[in-house]
Amino acid sequence: MPGRNLVNDSLIDTLIVGAGPYGLSIAAHAQAHGLSVRVIGTPMDFWQRHMPAGMLLNSEPFASNLSSPAPGSSFTDRHPGWPMGQPIPLRQFIAYGEWFAEHAVRGIEKVQVQHVQAADPGFTVTLSTGEEVRTLTVVIAIGVRQFAHVPAQLSALPRELVTHSAEHHDLSRFADRDVTIVGAGQSALETAVLLAEAGARPTVLSRKDHLAWNAIPLPDPSWTSKALRGPQSGLGHGWRTWLWSEHPATTRALPDRTRQRIVKNTLGPAGAWWLRERMGHGVTLRLGERIVEAGTNNGRVRFSTVTTHGGIHLSQTDHIIAATGYVPDIEKITILDPDLRRRLRLRHRSPALSRNFESSVPGLYFAGLTAAASFGPVMRFVHGSSYAAQRIADNLVKPRRSAPPKAAVPPVQPDKSVATK
Ligand SMILES: Cc1cc2nc3c(=O)[nH]c(=O)nc-3n(C[C@H](O)[C@H](O)[C@H](O)COP(=O)(O)OP(=O)(O)OC[C@H]3O[C@@H](n4cnc5c(N)ncnc54)[C@H](O)[C@@H]3O)c2cc1C
């Protein structure tokens, strides 16, 4: 903790940690309710620095909207006529997020939250500037990065040789090198394709013995096709997918084990339909193999795999990228004071949340991946941000509506730090 803390005695209504799709959407709704809100984080930072350049979004345009009560601020409002089935380039989505940050949210502060601890009332939040902020409520919208999962067989190897896919934006550094990508989801397959297109020699290695591909969306499906496939929703086709996608409150009411199974299995590892053809150029596949041991050898990785038929292979590669996903774990949210973490009631290492996204610590809210254990798989995607933002903002404003206004509500931070394009 910095030694020269500047204590700000004014009490604000809420502080939002993170300025990704969830943090920005929650901020837009909370500010529209007239709450004093501080939003801490660089807008769309994870998308800018931790996703591969040249990536295309997997979500359809209507499922890639940030949420604001102000009309005209959804992706589809900003890009009318963007057809279903035409993937959105990463840079276009980042530009949209930055536009949203500039026009739909006030006073974003491009600094970090370092520490959150309980106070009376509310919380004290320490920023990377050394400032201590007093706030009645805190919304944790920190996204996925700290939950990046690297399999145990690889986690002890040096970072020059083994990285998680979240560590890469510019893949051109791998030109002319053998790179093994572990995983079979969209991130693994798209990273492999982009590596091949950047002049590397990628190999996808997965314990699954076949790759799964998402169906091509039909912009104007026939009645028969609709009946066969079920409705189109933010997470894909089918009635069950529609339920998890559009009705997170119902998903929350399901028995815990059922919901956990849904979170695990919905939209399991699969590639986007538009990636399939590009896979054919320069990507080697090794399916039905699992890494059991790995080490180093003359600046390369040597590793052993076991096949589904029990065969053992020894291999070498210049670099391994683990595209092995994100596993939420409350112990990895180290900005939360240990005392707060201890007080949280948990569901599968994520906080158990009320129907308003509030944890068992009153005033402490969670949104995004950490809310998936309570609200289901839609919270892993941008599409869930609209539901989360409205519920959280509506709940944050309740005490304000039932109590007389506080004596001193400080203004939101000056606009000088507002995100710019
Ligand atoms: C390769 C890849 C592709 C994806 N493609 C899609 C897609 O096409 N469609 C889709 O819906 N979803 C996609 N996702 C999932 C996507 O990551 C989430 O839907 C989305 O990012 C959730 O938004 P968020 O605001 O919760 O998280 P984020 O976008 O990660 O935003 C959280 C922000 O909080 C910041 N932060 C963290 N800690 C602090 C701190 N202490 N202080 C200040 N700021 C902090 C982070 O820097 C980050 O910018 C993809 C994920 C990956 C990895």
Say if ligand 1 is within 6 A of residue 17 CB: yes
Question: What is the CA(47)–ligand 1 centre distance, in A?
Answer: 7
Pocket test for ligand 1, best of 22, 86, 147 (most atoms within 8 A of CB): 22
Q: What is the pLDDT of residue 402?
A: 67
| Distance (Å) from CA 141 to ligand 1 centroid | 9
If you compute the radius of gyration of the chain from its CA atoms, what whole number of angstroms results?
22
The gap from C-alpha 290 to its chain's centroid, in whole angstroms, comes to: 26
Which atom from ligand 1 is nearest to the alpha carbon of 335? 41
Residue 405 above 80 pLDDT?
no
Is 335's C-beta closer than 6 angstroms to any atom of ligand 1? Answer: yes
**Ligand 1 center to residue 379 CA distance, Å?**
11
Mean pLDDT for 82-88 is: 92
Q: Are 85 and 219 in contact (CB under 8 A)?
A: yes
Please tell me what DSSP assigns to residue 236.
E
pLDDT of residue 266: 82
pLDDT digits (tens, 9 = 90+) for 259-303: 999 988 887 889 999 999 899 889 999 999 999 999 999 999 999
Tell me the CA–centroid distance for residue 420 and ligand 1, in Å.
Answer: 19
Is the predicted pLDDT of residue 258 greater than 70, yes or no? yes
From the CA of 421, how far away is ligand 1's center (Å)?
A: 18
Does 1 have pLDDT greater than 50? no
At residue 409 the predicted structure's pLDDT band, cuts being 50, 70 and 90, is very low
Which of 389, 403, 402 lies closest to 16 in space, CA to CA?
A: 389
Q: Which of 229, 204, 234, 207 is nearest to 218 (CA)?
A: 229
Q: Which of 58, 110, 144 to mutate to test the pocket of ligand 1 (most atoms within 8 A of CB)?
A: 144
Question: Which pLDDT does position 404 carry in this prediction?
Answer: 53
> What DSSP assignment string belongs to 260-301?
HHHHHHTT-S-B-GGGHHHHTTT-EEEESEEEEEEEEETTEE
Mean pLDDT on 226-255: 90
The confidence score (pLDDT) of residue 414 equals: 33
Average pLDDT over residues 166-188: 97
Tell whether ligand 1 has an atom less than 6 A from the beta carbon of residue 57: yes
pLDDT of residue 204 exceeding 70, the answer is yes
CA–CA separation, 242 vs 230, rounded Å? 8
Is the CB of 51 inside a 6 Å radius of any atom of ligand 1?
A: yes
Q: What is residue 169's predicted lDDT score, i.e. its pLDDT?
A: 97
pLDDT at 253: 96
Is any ligand 1 atom within 6 A of the Cβ of residue 381?
Answer: yes
Distance in Å, CA 22 to ligand 1 centroid: 8
pLDDT value of residue 401: 65
Ramachandran angles phi, psi of 109, nearest 5°: -110, 120
Q: How far is the CA of 139 from the centre of ligand 1 (A)?
A: 15
Six-digit token pair at 6?
């500047």
Cβ of 58 closer than 6 Å to ligand 1, yes or no, is yes
Please check the confidence at residue 411 and state whether its pLDDT lies above 80.
no
Burial class (CB in 10 A: 0-12, 13-18, 19+), 338: exposed
At residue 406 the predicted structure's pLDDT band, cuts being 50, 70 and 90, is very low
What is the rounded distance in angstroms from the CA atom of residue 126 to the CA atom of residue 1? 8
How far does residue 143's CA lie from ligand 1's centre (Å)? Answer: 4
Of 384, 396, 371, the C-alpha closest to 142 is 371
**What's the confidence (pLDDT) of residue 48?**
97
82 DSSP 8-state letter: P
Reply yes or no on whether the pLDDT at 369 is more than 60: yes
Question: What is the rounded average pLDDT of the residues 339-348?
Answer: 96
Task: Output the residue whose Cα is nearest ligand 1's atom 19.
Answer: 381
Q: Is the CB of 142 under 6 A from ligand 1?
A: yes
Structure tokens at 79: 């890009």
Chain-wide mean pLDDT for the chain? 91
pLDDT of 219 reads 66
**Lowest-pLDDT range, 5-9, 297-301, 335-339?**
5-9
Query: Which percentage of the chain shows pLDDT scores above 90?
Result: 82
Alpha helices in 151-185 (DSSP H): 152-155
Q: What is the pLDDT of residue 399?
A: 77
CB 110 within 8 A of CB 98: no
The winner for highest mean pLDDT among 68-77, 225-234, 409-418 is 68-77
Domains annotated on the chain, with CATH: 6-147+326-417 (3.50.50.60), 152-212+269-322 (3.50.50.60)
Cβ atoms within 10 A of the Cβ of 202, count? 28
The protein residue whose alpha carbon is closest to atom 31 in ligand 1 is 20
162, β-bridge pairs: 320
Q: Which residue has better confidence, 148 or 229?
A: 148
Residue 12 has pLDDT above 90, yes or no: yes
Q: Is any atom of ligand 1 closer than 6 Å to the C-beta of 41? A: yes
pLDDT bin (cut points 50, 70, 90) of residue 49 is very high
Lowest pLDDT segment from 13-22, 309-318, 411-420: 411-420
* pLDDT reported for residue 230: 84
Give me the mean pLDDT over the 27-51 stretch.
Answer: 98
Please give the helix or strand (H or E) that residue 11 lies within, else none.
strand 6-17
- CA 46 – ligand 1 centroid, Å: 5
User: Measured in angstroms, how far is the CA atom of residue 170 from the centroid of ligand 1?
Assistant: 18
Please check the confidence at residue 5 and state whether its pLDDT lies above 90: no
pLDDT at 314 over 90: yes
Does ligand 1 come within 6 angstroms of the Cβ of 112? Answer: yes
